[in-house]
Structure 1
Amino acid sequence: MANAENHQMDGLFNEHVRFIRLPIERKPSVFSDVRTLWLLYRIFAREKFDCVFSIMPKAGLLAMVAGFMARVPHRFHMFTGQVWFTNGGVVRWGLKKLDNVLALCATHVMADSPSQRQFLIEEGVVTPRKITVFGKGSISGVDVQRFRPNPVVREKYRKELGINDHAVVFLFMARLTRVKGALDVTRAFCRVAAEMPDAHLLVIGPEDEEGIESELTVIMSDFTDRYHRVGFTYDPEGYMAAADVFCIPSYREGFSSATIQAAGVGLPAIASRIYGLSDAVEEGGSGLFHAPGALEEIGAAMKTLYTDKDMRARLSARANERAHGDFSQSLIVHEFASFIRAALH
């Protein structure tokens, strides 16, 4: 069940999978959320599922509560980050309590990174015995056959983007929001762009915050020839192959699948020093860290990886090594499947 049209699911499932469209709105809406909870309860009660698995904050809360009400015997939820991490006061308290409710209604809880697991335990959201992490983190690992260095694809996508072979390309790939760091990466780039004459910034992802697209355009107005903008894509690996450095200046992340996918392509990361990313990136090994929102630190890291080709190559090799050794899809999916089988039996 997901909030998607049938045609968007084409090719994803085989004959053993049935898709049910459920209009779960991303943003809070009391009427819509109560309606969705009721619909979920009715579906669960009618279908008599043996287990329910949920992911994402609001969908997880609704699914776990509905599953508890319908007496579904096995209720699994995967935490992928906490929306209240960057909030304070009563908002933080209220959202955190909703995660407490979610965890209480679930029979099994998982986190997609060890540092997030530790954070949830320390915050009293869940007990250590109830929460699990697969391997060293992630939801389903990296398909290393899909996300890999590819010189032919690199040349093709660079040609389409109008980027020369010798340019150093910094890639930001995420929903365009302030929390993801979309404004930070562009502002930091502009601060040091004059010192990096052959550097380009590639920003990929859908606008998910009203007005942010126009803000990015204004910020990059002095460097339009080195700013490349692409919306939502089904081919992230192609654009990753065209890049040299992956930037993720996010203020909150449960883990970041995109970061380890980029690592599979051989991209070192410039990342915020926050839980989640501290597992996806190895400091000094597969990338460089900066404090959240620290534009000077982001710019300095960009300059370092722009000028130091040997460091870039070393971090690239280590990133690719970690993608294969720690986060390969076969490894994570095996642990995931083993956990589910053991829980069901």
Structure 2
Amino acid sequence: MMMQINNNHKKICFVSTITNSLIFFMSPHVLELSKTYVITLVARGDASELGGVLSKQVAFQPLNIERDISPWRDFLALIKLITIFHKHKFDCVHSLTPKAGLLSMIAARFAGVPVRVHTFTGQVWVSKTGIIRWLLKQLDKILIWAATDLLADGHEQVDFLVHEGISSAGRIKVLANGSICGVDTTRFSPNETMRKALRSRFQIPQEGVVVLYLGRLKRDKGVEDLCSAFNLVAKSDPSVFLMVVGQDEDSLEERVSEVAIKFPGRVHRVVGVTQTPQHFMAASDIFCLPSHREGLNVTLLESASMSLPAVASRIYGVTEVVVDGETGMLHEQKNITDLAAKLQKIAADREMRIKLGVAARKRVMMLYPQTLVVQAMSTFYANKLNTKRS
């Protein structure tokens, strides 16, 4: 049941499909904005999952929003959103994730919410083909029609959406230099003590080279590509280890297990969502993101802040974070041979890893500090809610 808040301040509602998105992406914004506004968070999940985010100024409204297309359940969610928005008379509704964006922008428009903001963090339809791709693109166009303001987490994503005819030039804005929440560069900084402790826990030799994948286990994140590439690298270099951290959302556990069985003691699997990604990054030497589609990936920025060089796909969003040959190495999308070659090259050259890692952290500290991004969001809201009133 939703906590009741009595306050005369202007009201903002953030909507996401799941609470994890709100925790990982919006926590710093919510904490800062709640100093000025009354905040309500809407997502599928439980209030206990939001930890220290909730307060007298921040309430939670659970609502089941399916990630995949489900016409009847989507319709029910739409009706519930319209009801919630009518009841609370929000000054602004701000959505994340594709499905939550579509439903909440339509609902907010029908409910008469004056400021309707959606943040694009990547497109599901990028890796689709045929009628499904066409349909999903049309749904994004409906979302844009219903919104008053559009944000994207990176400039390359804006260019892509314009190129694909989803939005007109100038319609979508990027705050600061990009990134949905920036990086806490103090929390995400090299930690030799944690490195030694975690390697000891997993029985990884201190001189071993650890390749880390941290994120949702999805096919379009390239997890299968990574397993195949590691299979090639591990055969020729016994010093290379693989650590896979995250929640399996695409039945890929068996694929990771196959590689683990083939190379006993060299593949380490940490199941579920971690609240301490910096610990696994501290224990690693290379961050790998062989994704088929991305926005401006936050985890990629966080690993860079930990002075980890990246080996990642040459796709929009990723190329905005990883400067090839300067902060990491890019491989051709879905090219397992190229991915393996880049992993092998960087794993074999310690001096290169150090040089790339130092440059990666320096770049994050200059362009993506969390304080800069949070301030940009606060300024955005100060302007919007002073000029558009209910």
Normalising by structure 2, we get a TM-score of 0.87
Query: How many Å separate the matches in 1 of 2:117 and 2:277?
Result: 29
Selected match of 1:223 from 259, 263, 273:
263
Aligned to 1:303: 344
Is the Cα contact below 8 Å between 1:205 and 1:233 reproduced in 2? Answer: yes
Aligned to 1:73: 114
Is 1:184 aligned with 2:230?
no
Query: How many Å separate the matches in 1 of 2:256 and 2:199?
Result: 21
Where does 1:135-150 land on structure 2 (aligned, <5 Å)? Answer: 135-150=176-191
Is the Cα contact below 8 Å between 1:154 and 1:241 reproduced in 2? Answer: yes
Q: CA deviation at 1:14?
A: 2.5
Is the Cα contact below 8 Å between 1:141 and 1:330 reproduced in 2? Answer: yes
Aligned to 1:266: 307
SS of the counterpart of 1:11?
A: helix
Selected match of 2:123 from 82, 90, 106:
82
Is 1:123 aligned with 2:164?
yes
Moved more, 56-65 or 12-21: 12-21
Q: What letter is aligned with 2:255?
A: E
Query: How many Å separate the matches in 1 of 2:69 and 2:134?
Result: 16
Query: How many Å separate the matches in 1 of 2:381 and 2:193?
Result: 40
Query: How many Å separate the matches in 2 of 1:27 and 1:49?
Result: 27
SS of the counterpart of 2:255?
A: helix
Is the Cα contact below 8 Å between 1:167 and 1:198 reproduced in 2? Answer: yes
Query: How many Å separate the matches in 2 of 1:180 and 1:339?
Result: 31
Q: CA deviation at 1:72?
A: 0.3
Selected match of 2:197 from 146, 149, 156:
156
For the aligned residue pairs, the C-alpha RMSD in angstroms reads 1.0
Aligned to 1:167: 208
Where does 1:2-41 land on structure 2 (aligned, <5 Å)? Answer: 2-41=43-82
Is the Cα contact below 8 Å between 1:76 and 1:108 reproduced in 2? Answer: yes
Q: CA deviation at 1:98?
A: 0.2
Unaligned ranges ≥5, structure 1: none
SS of the counterpart of 2:60?
A: coil
Is 1:103 aligned with 2:144?
yes
Runs of 4+ in structure 1 displaced over 6 angstroms? none
Aligned to 1:237: 278
Question: Per-residue CA shift, 1:157-210, capped at 9, x if unaligned?
Answer: 111111111111000011111100111111101112122111100000001013
Is 1:288 aligned with 2:288?
no
Query: How many Å separate the matches in 1 of 2:372 and 2:77?
Result: 35
Q: CA deviation at 1:6?
A: 1.6
Percent of pairs with identical residues: 39
Moved more, 67-76 or 86-95: 86-95
Aligned to 1:325: 366
Question: Per-residue CA shift, 1:221-276, capped at 9, x if unaligned?
Answer: 21121000001211101001000100000000011100000011111100100111
Aligned to 1:61: 102
Query: How many Å separate the matches in 2 of 1:176 and 1:338?
Result: 35
Query: How many Å separate the matches in 2 of 1:224 and 1:177?
Result: 24
Moved more, 216-225 or 47-56: 216-225
Aligned to 1:196: 237
SS of the counterpart of 2:125?
A: coil
Query: How many Å separate the matches in 2 of 1:19 and 1:328?
Result: 28
Unaligned ranges ≥5, structure 2: 1-41
Q: CA deviation at 1:339?
A: 1.5
Question: Per-residue CA shift, 1:323-342, capped at 9, x if unaligned?
Answer: 11111101111112112211
Q: What letter is aligned with 1:203?
A: V
Is 1:276 aligned with 2:306?
no
Moved more, 95-104 or 216-225: 216-225
Query: How many Å separate the matches in 2 of 1:329 and 1:116?
Result: 20
Aligned to 2:35: none
SS of the counterpart of 2:216?
A: coil
Query: How many Å separate the matches in 2 of 1:224 and 1:23?
Result: 41
Is the Cα contact below 8 Å between 2:286 and 2:310 reproduced in 1? Answer: yes
Is the Cα contact below 8 Å between 2:117 and 2:149 reproduced in 1? Answer: yes
